[in-house]
Structures are given as C-alpha cells and as structure tokens.
Amino acid sequence: MTSSTPPSASPPPPGNPVSPAPARLKPLRSLTARGRDDAHRVASPLELFFDLCFVVAIAQAGIQLVHAVAESHAGEGILNYAMVFFAIWWAWMNFTWFASAYDNDDVLYRIVTLVQIAGVLVLAAGISRAFEDHEFVAVWLGYAIMRFALSWQWLRVAWSAEGAERTMALRYAGGVLICQIGWLGLLTLPEGGRAWLFLVMAPLEMCVPIYAERDHPTSWHPHHIAERYGLFTIIVLGETIAAATVAVKSGIDENDALGELLPIAVGGLLIVFAAWWIYFVVPIHGHLRSNSQAFLWGYGHYVVFASAAAIGAGLEVAVEQAVGEAHISTLAASAAVTLPTALYLLAVWVLHARHFKVGLAQQLVLPVAALLVLCATFLGEWAVLAAGLALALAVATGTTLTARLVAREAREDRPRASRAVM
C-alpha cells in the first residue's frame, strides 16, 4: 500500500544513473497511500499553483476587512473575516494533508485539484458581497465546489483501499459532505443566526479528521507538511507586504504625505521581516511526530495565517487614517496593526517556537515582545514604528541568547572531548 518512491518518478535508464528519464503522466492510477519515509518529498508545482490561487481569496478578504475597519465597522468586519478566512484555510489545509499522503499525480488527480482551485476563485468572487450585502451564495458555492472535489478524492482512496484505511476514507468523504449540508444555513438562516451557525459548524468540520483517523491515521509526510505550511506563510506575508506597499504608494501619490507615512512604512516592513524570521528560526518537521501534535499544530495555523494576513490589512488602515481617508481614531488604526501582530507572535510561540527555547529568558522573548507591541498601540502616529522596533529588538535578543547558548555548549563540550581522548 505504500511506496518509498514518489509515484511520478521514473527510475533512471540503465547505464545513465545521472540523467533519469522524464516522468510520464498517466491518465489514471490507484490512489494509494505514500510512505512517510519518502525521500526528497517536496512541494509539487501543482501545490504551489494551488497556494497562489488561494492567496487571491485571502487578498479579497483582507481588502474587505480594511474597508470595514476604516468605516468604523470593526466588529462586523472581523466576524465576516473570521468566517470567510475559515473557509479558505480549511479547504487549503484539508487538501494539503490529503496531498501529503495520497498525491499520485495522475491526470484525474490533477483535474480534481484544478476544480478545487476553481472553487476558491468562485469563493473569492463572492467575498465582497458577503461583507457588504451579507449575501453568502457565491462563498457557499465556491466552498461547496472545493468540498465535493475533496470528497471525490477520498472516494477514490476508498475504492483502492481495504480494511481500516477504506473505513477512514469513507468517514472523510461522508463527514465532508454532511458538513457541507450544514453550511446551507448560511443561505437560509437570518443574518443574526449566521454567527451561531459558524460557531457550531467550524468545530464540527475540525472534528471530521479526528473521527476519520481514529483507527487508521493517514501517512502524511512531516517534512512535506512543514514545508507546505512554511511556503504558505511566506506567500501570505508576501501578500501583506504587497498590500501595504500599494497603500503607502497611493497615499504618497495622492496626498503627498511622505512624512506621515514613512514611520508606518518602516515599522510595517520591520514587522513583516520579524514575522518571517520568528517563524523560520527553527525547523519544525522534527516536532511533528504524532497525530495529536500534528492536529494541534495544523489547526493552530488558522490563527497564524489569519493574523499574518490581517497585519497587511491593518497597515492599509493605518495608511488611510494617516492621510485622512479612514473614519476612525489614531488609536483604532494603531490597534488594527498591533493586535494581529501580537496575536501572530503568541500563536507562533505556542505552536512551535516554545518547544525549542532553553531557559526562562528565551521562553519570554516572544510573549514580552507581544506585550510591547500591544503597549505601542497607545503611541499615536508612532505606534507602528514602535511595534516594528520592538519586534526587531525581540529578534536581536533571541538571536543573541541562542548564540550565547551555542557558545556555552561548545565550551562545555571541549573538556568532555579532551577527557574522552585521554
């Protein structure tokens, strides 16, 4: 049922071990599990294309969040953002873990994956209507397309599998479809009931993998999963920089407000640079040793991704407030940046940074940095710059503490090595 060689790879021809034969795309092959010990398991071009298309929807959600906060409708905007972002993230996450275990790269697999991409583009097209008119038809339809496509993939697995694995695949397919029926409430319930529906359906969706894999876990690849999450984090942070850059450029071109926007631009850049550094300071795949750890880590990235994208939206709000285009106070505009930044720091610390920290000083770096970022909220027009400087200080402090620890361990190892030689 498993193989240590990727299904799309062909063995090198005899007499030419250096130049392997090109992989042949087959129209149809059994959708069987890949091994966790696959060598050189990396993200495929299709997965990278999948991620880029999903970021289109994230960008649309960010734009609508900016409009809602800038028009002093933060509560409603955050709720809609949380609901829409869940649909985007959950569909992305389900595909990512499925592909890590079952990507056979045949023609049918590629076509069904492209259908999922079409689904997220339909969802993205309906985001503005969901925020402005509270109409979720296109969002529901796009999500349904993605979910039906994923159910089809699980049915393919069930067709090829036996025993506990087949039961697991059928549980996935059935659970996904049943939850999709529950989401019909977005179209039928009154506006006030949609938040309650979300609070019920989101946990039910997240229970499907836990229930499906209770007797037979999927053979996801730890290094591949860590890489996929890391790449998506990079893409989301890139979207954050792009959105903030366009906002700053427009503010300078239209309002000649370089002096007002320079602290926001510098501070925002420091925040995003530090966010990247903090996430990638240690390799995480070695920590993903069991399903329980993986579920917590994978689910927790809803906060990581949503807050990272919200940082970009907050920077846009800060720019609009600085040039007089937002109907909110300086304090509210500052909070639009500092709150998601602090949330990002705490989420990254909880999910994996704390597992690699040695001693109280290292453990406190990110929580203290989050507190400093929150305090910067009250510094008026200098809030974003102060938050960026706080994160730069946190990165420098963490790097220094790690360097000292490495140096101390090296000094302690020298006498041991000398005694071993003697």
> Per residue in 91-121, pLDDT tens?
999 999 999 999 888 899 999 999 999 999 9
Whether pLDDT at 358 is above 80: no
Does residue 374 fall inside a structural domain?
Answer: yes
- The domain that holds 269 is classified in CATH as 1.20.1410
Residues 315 and 380 in one domain: yes
Positive or negative CA dihedral for 241, 242, 243, 248?
Answer: positive
CA dihedral (97, 98, 103, 105) positive or negative: negative
Q: Looking at the structure, do residues 243 and 200 belong to the same domain, yes or no?
A: no
Dihedral of the alpha carbons of 14, 16, 19, 24, in degrees to the nearest 10: -20
| Model pLDDT, residue 35 | 75
Domain boundary among 219, 253, 283: 219
Q: Is the residue at 258 inside a domain?
A: yes
Residues 195, 230, single domain; the answer is no
Domains in the chain: how many in total? 2
310-314, 400-404, 407-411: range with highest mean pLDDT: 310-314
Q: Which of 294, 376, 380, 314 is nearest to 36 (CA)?
A: 294
Q: Which two tokens stand for residue 275?
A: 């966010």
Q: Clarify whether residues 142 and 234 are in a common domain.
A: no
Q: Examine the domain organization and report whether 361 and 325 are in the same domain.
A: yes
- For 120-139, the pLDDT digits (tens) are 999 999 999 999 888 999 99
For 206-252, write each residue's pLDDT tens digit: 999 999 999 888 888 888 898 999 999 999 999 999 988 988 888 88
Q: Do 210 and 345 belong together in one domain?
A: no
| Residue bearing the bigger pLDDT, 26 or 338 | 338
Comparing C-alpha atoms, which of 354, 386, 392 is closest to residue 373?
386
Domain boundary among 158, 191, 219: 219
Let me know whether 257 and 403 are in one domain: yes
**Domain shared by 206 and 324, yes or no:** no
The answer on pLDDT for 40 being more than 80 is no
Are 176 and 215 in the same domain? Answer: yes
In a domain, 32, yes or no: no
In a domain, 164, yes or no: yes
Residue 16 lies in a domain: no
Average pLDDT for residues 165-189, to the nearest whole number?
A: 93
Both 280 and 241 in a single domain?
yes
What is the domain range of residue 82? Answer: 45-219
Same domain for 215 and 228? no
pLDDT class for 330, splitting at 50, 70, 90? Answer: very high
When pLDDT is averaged across residues 250-267 and rounded to a whole number, the result is 87
More confident residue, 282 or 334: 334
Examine residue 23 and state whether it is found in any structural domain, yes or no.
no
Domain identity same for 325 and 236: yes
Mean pLDDT of the region 387-393: 94
Of 219, 242, 275, which residue constitutes the final position of a domain? Answer: 219
